[in-house]
Amino acid sequence: MPLDLPEDLERYIEEHVGPVSPLLEELERWTKEETGRPGMLTGRVEGALLRMLVRITGARRVVEIGCFTGYSALMMAEGLPEDGELVTCEILEEYASIAQGYFDRSPHGKKIRLVLAPALETLRGIAGESVDFVFIDADKELYPLYYEESVRILRSGGLIAADNVLWYGRVLSPQDEDSRAIVSFNRIVRQDGRVEKVMLPVRDGVYLIRKR
């Protein structure tokens, strides 16, 4: 769910990221119409930002926490070289099988390995300092734990992008568990001397965090 920008300005921004592939167009449309959870999808602007970050950092190994129907995974896979790998974590079979169906139809799908398991388990099985880029986009109350694991598996100079860090603006006055978890995560990152960071007001807020 994006922060509120006037609709025509939203559309203007979307038009200026350039076209996305017909398969991604289809996946976006299908997800919006069929899942009843359109707000979970990163969409074309944030997706294009992630693809750009993967490309300009020269990432070869990417981990995504929260696959859903596979939109952001496919976007990031487009930014990977042919021998790159993206591990995407999903806990629900229903979403995993939809995502896998789209990965199988994409020329970039062979770079993606979908792991159907709690993300924390998957992260704990990944060797330290072996990953170039992590995208955090799953259950908000676990963000602090995902963050610790992400810093552990990242190489020095590697990048984390954490989604929804403005949480519809609720970070200013947190009233529920998820809002408090995001506030606590943001504070941990802000105080962490192991990383440099910048918070971007893209969609629902993206925290970019570089391991020193």
Pair 66, 89: CB distance under 8 Å: yes
Phi then psi for residue 72, to 5 deg, are -70, -30
What are the backbone angles phi and psi of residue 98, rounded to the nearest 5°?
A: -65, -50
Handedness of CA 23, 25, 26, 28 (dihedral sign): positive
- Binds ligand SAM by CB under 6 A, chosen from 28, 78, 132, 137: 137
Nearer to ligand SAM, 118 or 174 (CB): 118
144, 184 contact by CB (below 8 A): yes
Q: Does 102 bind ligand SAM (CB under 6 A)?
A: no
By the rule CB under 6 A, 139 interacts with ligand SAM: yes
| Comparison of 148 and 196: residue with beta carbon closer to ligand SAM | 148
Smallest gap, in angstroms, from Cβ of residue 85 to ligand SAM? 17
By CB under 6 A, residue 178 contacts ligand SAM: no
State in angstroms the smallest separation of the CB of 68 from ligand SAM: 3
Binds ligand SAM by CB under 6 A, chosen from 20, 24, 41, 159 = 41
DSSP letter, residue 147: H
Min separation Cβ 203 and ligand SAM, Å: 10
Distance CA 61, CA 54 (A): 9
DSSP secondary structure code for residue 17 in this structure = T
Q: Does 188 interact with ligand SAM (rule: CB under 6 A)?
A: no
Distance CA 204, CA 171 (A): 11
| Residue 71 contacts ligand SAM per CB under 6 A | yes
Give the single-character DSSP code of 35: T
Q: Does 100 bind ligand SAM (CB under 6 A)?
A: no
Does 72 engage in binding with ligand SAM (CB under 6 A)? yes
Please name the helix (run of DSSP H) or strand (run of DSSP E) that holds residue 177, with its range, or none: helix 177-191
Our CB check for ligand SAM shows the closer of 6 and 36 to be: 36
The CB-of-131 to ligand SAM minimum distance in angstroms stands at 16
CA 92 to chain centre: 17
For ligand SAM, the binding residue among 49, 51, 63, 66 (CB under 6 A) is 66
Interacting residues toward ligand SAM by CB under 6 A? 40-42, 66, 68-69, 71-72, 89-92, 95, 118-119, 137-139
